[in-house]
Copies of this chain bind each other. A is one copy, B any other.
Amino acid sequence: MKTLSLAQHRKTARKFSHDPISIDDILHCIEVAREAPSGMNAQPWRFLLITDAHQKKTLRMLCEEGERELHQKVKGALAEWLQKKGISWEKPFLEDAPALILVFSSLHAPYRIQSTWLAIGYLLLALEERGISTVTYTPPHPETLRTHLEVPDEFKLEVILPLGHSVDEKRKEVRKPLKELIHVGRWGNHL
């Protein structure tokens, strides 16, 4: 499938069936992500794959503790958006999805955030190609998870990607028109 079809069909999933997914498919997608360019070719990305039910449950619990605090404090546009989307502090997808990939970046690498998220872009298209759904979930206290998982402090947790088959019925969110996003020659000069 062409990249445009993959990108258009892909939509964020926050509800997953318990159907298993192939570990080979997951490794294949990480193989795609590994090919991304990176600042000074430092390849700052690392992937921690978790499938164990007990581990997923503990991660869910740790994330929900942070989420509860966050949801109590949140105000304004973010609070409205969360309510509109029906997003609460509860994160069952961390337990329901058959697998989680935790993506870390090395603090020693230049442009580590940029490079790692560029690779996450590759990863999402590869997952779509293999029929695997996900959401780029950024936990509120990534450091708590890192220390719990005994990951060296050279690495920062960038995102958790729960992987599985979507049973999320929500539609893909609407995108802005291209003419609003593209300026030609000078700012404000639209297509």
- Whether the Cβ atoms of B27 and A178 lie closer than 8 Å is yes
| A3-B122, A118-B117, A126-B3 known; A150-B186 Cβ under 8 A | yes
Q: Tally chain A residues at the interface, Cβ within 8 Å.
A: 70
Cross-chain contact B185 with A49 (CB below 8 angstroms): yes
Give Cα distance in the complex from A176 to B115, angstroms: 15
Whether the Cβ atoms of A46 and B7 lie closer than 8 Å is no
Q: How many copies does the complex hold?
A: 2
Q: Which residue of B lies closest to A138 (CB)?
A: B111
Given contacts A27-B182, A49-B184, A185-B50, contact A125 B3 (CB under 8 A): yes
- A41-77 vs B, Cβ < 8 Å mask (1 yes, 0 no): 1010111111110010000000000000000000001
Residues A48 and B183 in contact, CB atoms below 8 Å apart:
yes
Interchain nearest-CB distance for A17 vs B (Å): 21
Smallest CB–CB gap between A108 and chain B, Å?
9
List chain B residues, Cβ under 8 A from A182: 27, 30, 46-49
Q: Does A173 contact B (CB under 8 A)?
A: yes
Closest B residue by C-beta to A130: B3
Closest B residue to A175 by beta carbon equals B34
